[in-house]
Amino acid sequence: MILLLSVIIGLSVIVVFPNFSEAQSELKTFVTHSGKVIRTTGEIIDPLYTVSTVEFDPMEYLRDFDYGEVSMLPDGITVREFTIIAEDDKVMEISPGVFFNVWTYNGAVPGPTIRATEGDIVKINFINNGSKSHTMHFHGIHPAEMDGVFEIVGPGGGQFTYEFEAGPVGIHPYHCHVMPLEEHIVRGLYGVFIVDPKEGREPADEMVMVLNGFDTDFDTENNFYAANTIPFYYQHHPIQINIDELIRVYVLNMVEFDPINNLHLHGNLFDYYPTGTSTEPTFYTDMITLSQTERGIMEFEYKYPGKYLFHAHKVEFSEKGWIGMFLVNDDTEFDESDTEYDR
């Protein structure tokens, strides 16, 4: 029995790390995006750093919506004010032992989920505390000078105030738009902007999933993939949901380098609203395909309790971290310590 176990464990190690010894012995030279020449074994960057300066909890991020500081104009229009600080010196342990220099909005990847109602005035006090120029470019409808492309915000405390009317209804990305754009995005300068319809949406257990990846060896291919930054996180910490309760997922694909990403939900189908701009679903499906910055809203409820996977059906991505699990509870009175969600 013990012998059999050892053989099984031995075989699993070979299957999981087929090139481990090869990669260990073979140092390759890479030129980073910023021109630095580094030597690394390949799949995983050498641990140049050993301390994470980013605190990020994917379970907290999942249902954390920032509605800003609310005030009202004399004509009754709601103003939502946000302060967003960009930095580019933070280090995040994106996978055990893999420390990566992320660029952040408000200290995390993704940045905060900014939320407003159609017609609100959104005011973003943007401060660039990084060492490089950065901006915030929102997808949506706004004046040219609020587009975050030509109004470069300089490093070391540069400031800009973005102000525009929230619209159209839907889920939109925001991201830095400074060249080289690829690096400013893949390092982590992105987040979600939700515009709610004035009449609201049906009450639901709402959550945000940003599909992202990290190229930790700078070869313009991702080494890790995830929903909300940390590979395999929701597989090890399943998202608790209730049976027969409407679940609404705002999903955004921010994966660079790979032309497509996708999402498959197990044991169920969902109504899908591309970009969230319509309140009528376009598809009823268990599978969506998303190109860069493509996004939408998924709505579903589970009929049966238990564990259900959701993951990229592009198997390479799911095997490198883009996989998670819903745990459908039969009992609405649950109180699990690994979720902050109170009902």
Spatial separation of the C-alpha atoms in residues 291 and 262, rounded to whole Å: 8
Q: State the nearest-atom distance from the C-beta of 93 to Cu ion, in Å.
A: 22
What H or E segment, with its residue span, contains residue 14? helix 2-16
Q: State the nearest-atom distance from the C-beta of 148 to Cu ion, in Å.
A: 10
Q: State the nearest-atom distance from the C-beta of 184 to Cu ion, in Å.
A: 3
Q: State the nearest-atom distance from the C-beta of 251 to Cu ion, in Å.
A: 24
**Residue 118 β-bridge partners:** none
Q: Is 190 exposed, middle or buried (0-12, 13-18, 19+ CB in 10 A)?
A: buried
Candidates 45, 178, 186, 325; binder of Cu ion (CB under 5 A) is 178
Q: Binding of Cu ion at residue 153 (CB under 5 A)?
A: no
Contact 173, 193 (CB under 8 A): yes
Q: State the nearest-atom distance from the C-beta of 194 to Cu ion, in Å.
A: 22
Q: Binding of Cu ion at residue 185 (CB under 5 A)?
A: no
Contact 289, 319 (CB under 8 A): no
Q: Binding of Cu ion at residue 323 (CB under 5 A)?
A: no
Q: How many CA atoms lie within 13 A of 44 on its CB side?
A: 19
Chain position carrying tokens 């027969």: 244
Site for Cu ion in 224-243 (CB under 5 A): none
Q: Binding of Cu ion at residue 320 (CB under 5 A)?
A: no
Is the CB of 209 or the CB of 210 nearer to Cu ion? 210
Spatial separation of the C-alpha atoms in residues 26 and 21, rounded to whole Å: 9
Is the CB of 80 or the CB of 184 nearer to Cu ion? 184
Q: State the nearest-atom distance from the C-beta of 108 to Cu ion, in Å.
A: 15
What H or E segment, with its residue span, contains residue 234? helix 233-236
Site for Cu ion in 115-134 (CB under 5 A): 134
Is the CB of 178 or the CB of 328 nearer to Cu ion? 178
Is the CB of 104 or the CB of 235 nearer to Cu ion? 104
Is the CB of 190 or the CB of 317 nearer to Cu ion? 190
Q: State the nearest-atom distance from the C-beta of 90 to Cu ion, in Å.
A: 13
Candidates 176, 209, 210, 226; binder of Cu ion (CB under 5 A) is 176
Stretch that binds Cu ion, among 1-9, 139-147, 176-184, 250-258 (CB under 5 A): 176-184
Candidates 90, 184, 311, 314; binder of Cu ion (CB under 5 A) is 184
CB count, 10 Å around CB of 118? 15
Q: Binding of Cu ion at residue 90 (CB under 5 A)?
A: no
Q: Is 216 exposed, middle or buried (0-12, 13-18, 19+ CB in 10 A)?
A: buried
SS3 of residue 272 by DSSP: strand
Is the CB of 88 or the CB of 206 nearer to Cu ion? 88
Spatial separation of the C-alpha atoms in residues 130 and 127, rounded to whole Å: 9
Q: Work out whether the CA dihedral 217, 91, 292, 133 comes out positive or negative.
A: negative
Q: Which residues bind Cu ion (CB under 5 A)?
A: 134, 176, 178, 184
